[in-house]
Structure 1
Amino acid sequence: MNYIIFGGSGFIGTHLIHLLKETHPTDNIYCLDIVMPGEEGVVPGIVEKNDEVIYERIDVRKKIEYEIKTTEDDVVFNLAAVHRTPGHEDYEYFETNIRGAENVTEWCEKHNIKKVLFTSSIAPYGAAEEEKSEDNLPTPNTPYGISKLVAEKIHQGWADKNSAQLVIVRPGIVYGKGEHGNMTRLYSGLKGHYFVYTGRKDTIKACIYVKELVRFFLWSLENGKTGVWNCTFEPAFTIEQIVQTMESATGLKTWVPLIPGKLLMGVARVVGHLGGKVVGIHPARVKKLMISTNICGKKLAACGYKFHYTFEETFVDWFEDCDRQTLE
């Protein structure tokens, strides 16, 4: 059997490959990505190419000509995306996320693939304080969110046409070893005593541990699930709860001040012009901290999937993966 991962060299793909090697050691694993392990921008974890994984350099923005012998039992994971915001020109999100969805599903149809998992995003919901479930009408307000919603529709069209199993996952903030994103910056800010609460402490930040996420990937496909799934702890945690849990798990003891949001935005605008984007002090990032990502995880909680980690255990496990020195 083949597990074919488009975008497999990234953060989530790296952890998925680790899990597949552990749980399906006799199956073939294909990592198809524009970058390879060890290259710039690739998540540490699989530092060098592994003999048990088949690597091929593939650019999903172009027609995919790669040929392998497939069966109807094979699984395709489409993780390939341009996702970091801010960080890209608007057209880059559409070029990779939409064109990539078209090319991957065309390849799946050509090779008679009947099982696909697509990682979307919570960005199609748009920025809002109200809780968002899978039944809410998507109202994306960023190029990234729009591109991901269109990509979902492309995958759904393929599944309907081919009577195939399709799982669309909308993860909250995904964290764990190799993330180098929001949670990593939060830990660095706490450890360096420069993180502050931006205007409020009750901002909801729906999130999921990367090892839990990839376990759900396999479980959903192996248990015949279809449709759209929010992937987050239920209920979602506030930024204050996240800070307290992270500190407890890693032994940090800090005092976090509450700074008025308008004041911090003003500072970010000034520092941003002085290179603030490089150090993470950027108006767009500050604004994101003040808006909740209030994503409902009730469907996941009720589907029969059993979480392997409590919230605090996720940070303990991540800390252990980093030799109890840091979170990175």
Structure 2
Amino acid sequence: MTANIIALIGASGFVGTRLIGSLGTEKCVNIDKTQSAVYGVLTTIQDIRNMRIPEALPDSATTVVLLAAEHRDDVSPVSLYYDVNVQGTKNVLDAMDKKGIKSIVFTSSVAVYGLNKDNPDEEHPADPFNHYGKSKWQAEEVLREWYQKDPENRSLSIIRPTVIFGEANRGNVYNLLRQIASGKFLMIGKGKNKKSMAYVGNVVAFIKYLIDNDRPGYRVFNYVDKPDFNMNELVSQVRGDLEQNGGLIRIPEVLGMLGGFGFDIVAKATGKKLPISSVRVKKFCATTQFSADKLDASGFQRPFTLEEGLERTLRYEFIENHDDKPVFFTE
């Protein structure tokens, strides 16, 4: 094992797989409860809910990147959010202390701010509206407490990304893009609500930037790729990239919510997870816009514009054929 290994925890998924590719296989290991479809040889199977994480951390690790999280909208029981996102973080920090590792990069979420806030920056009060956001905020508090025990030697970087999209992702943004690509997209509401987004290629580049420029201290950043589109602009951009013409069908937000509640009832009665729910309709119609001023002042240069990220994703998913490549299911 070479020196200065980066231990990625929860890197079998969408962001982690891209991050390993960016960092290089010779520089990192992956610790996850599921096998990596791409980097199996680097993966040690371990669940952060148990206390055996120290066994999986290599002695030569100098930095931990904690990506593991319980994040879907429909997790049951809700205690899983706290078992994984809070207690799991405590377990990782305990393992780091046992191994003498003093640097961690943690992926939190803009969900800590709640919905319909006015472009919150990193100093905005936390006001999470769901268990995912609440558990991520509690995990941040655990991390800050850990850092304060030895601030002169420890390094804590917290990233709060907005919704992340990109090639091979099967999350909410992909579902939206697929609906638009099908020509059967239905716009709920007036479409003037703005949506901050983050392209995965830029997110992993920023994580790498933090690792490469690591030093003792506490840092927290929203991750957003600007400029923010409103829903009308986003749909127009996607349809233009796909060379679609014609008008959009729109329905009032109240009808969309009623439809979402109907799907909730069906999901509960059948026990099936459906692509539409009241929570997803609420999120679709909400303004989710966040400040990137601190990120922009950090010295980090985004490799891609938001428009380029969308174009690359649309080309990969709906123009080219990548049926032989793995896909990653997220929210």
Q: Please classify the TM superposition score into its range, dividing by the shorter chain length.
A: 0.7 to 0.9
Equivalent in the alignment of 2:307: 312
2:161 paired residue number: 171
State the alpha-carbon separation in 1 of the partners of residues 146 and 128 from structure 2: 22
Match of 2:34 in 1: 35
1:124 Cα offset (Å): 0.8
Q: Report the more deviating stretch, 60-69 or 110-119.
A: 60-69
Q: How far apart are 1:209 and its partner, in Å?
A: 0.4
Partner in structure 2 of residue 201 of structure 1:
191
CA deviation profile, 1:14-39 (whole Å, cap 9, x unmatched):
11111112xxx542x2110000124x
- Paired position in structure 2 for 1:43: none
Aligned partner (choices 163, 179, 182) of residue 192 of structure 1:
182
Contact kept, 8 Å, 2:181 with 2:318, in 1: the verdict is no
The verdict on how the C-alpha distance between 1:254 and 1:228 changes in structure 2, with shifts beyond 3 A counting, is: farther
Match of 1:216 in 2: 206
- Partners of 1:287 and 1:221 in 2: CA distance: 36
Task: State the Cα deviation string for residues 63-87 of structure 1 (Å, max 9, x = none).
Answer: 124155434x722100010011134
Count of matched residue pairs: 312
Unaligned regions of 5+ residues in structure 1, if any? 39-45
Q: Cα gap change, 1:68/1:264 in structure 2, threshold over 3 Å: closer, same or farther?
A: closer
Change (3 A) 1:326 1:271: farther
- Taking structure 1 as reference, are residues 269 and 261 closer, same or farther at Cα in structure 2, changes over 3 Å only? same
Q: Distance in 1 between matches of 2:145 and 2:99?
A: 16
Match of 1:7 among 2, 10, 26: 10
CA contact (8 A) 2:191 2:285 kept: no
The 8 Å contact of residues 206 and 295 in structure 1, kept in 2 or not, is answered as yes
Q: Distance in 2 between matches of 1:261 and 1:320?
A: 31
TM alignment of 1:286-301, pairs within 5 A:
286-301=281-296
- The alpha-carbon deviation at position 244 of structure 1 amounts to 2.0
Which residues in structure 2 correspond to 1:234-273 (within 5 Å)? 234-253=226-245, 255-273=247-265
Residues 246, 312 of structure 1: 8 Å contact kept? no
The one of 116, 119, 129 equivalent to 1:131 is 119
SS class of match (1:74)? strand
3-state SS of 2:59 partner: coil
Structure 1 residues 115 and 254: alpha-carbon distance in aligned structure 2, compared to 1, 3 A threshold: farther
Q: What letter matches 1:202 in structure 2?
A: K
- 2:246 & 2:306 partners in 1: Cα distance? 20
Aligned partners of 1:278, 1:191: CA distance in 2, in Å? 23
Tell me the TM-score normalized by structure 1: 0.88
Q: 1:178 Cα deviation (Å)?
A: 2.7
Give the TM-score normalised by structure 2.
Answer: 0.87
Q: Which runs of 5+ in 2 are unaligned?
A: none
Q: After alignment, is 245-254 or 183-192 more displaced?
A: 245-254
Distance in structure 1 (CA, Å) of the matches to 2:199 and 2:168: 12
1:33-182 maps to which residues of 2 (within 5 A)? 33-38=32-37, 46=38, 49=40, 51=41, 54-63=42-51, 64-71=53-60, 74-162=62-150, 163-182=153-172
> Aligned in 2, Cα 1:159/1:253: closer, same or farther, shift over 3 Å?
farther
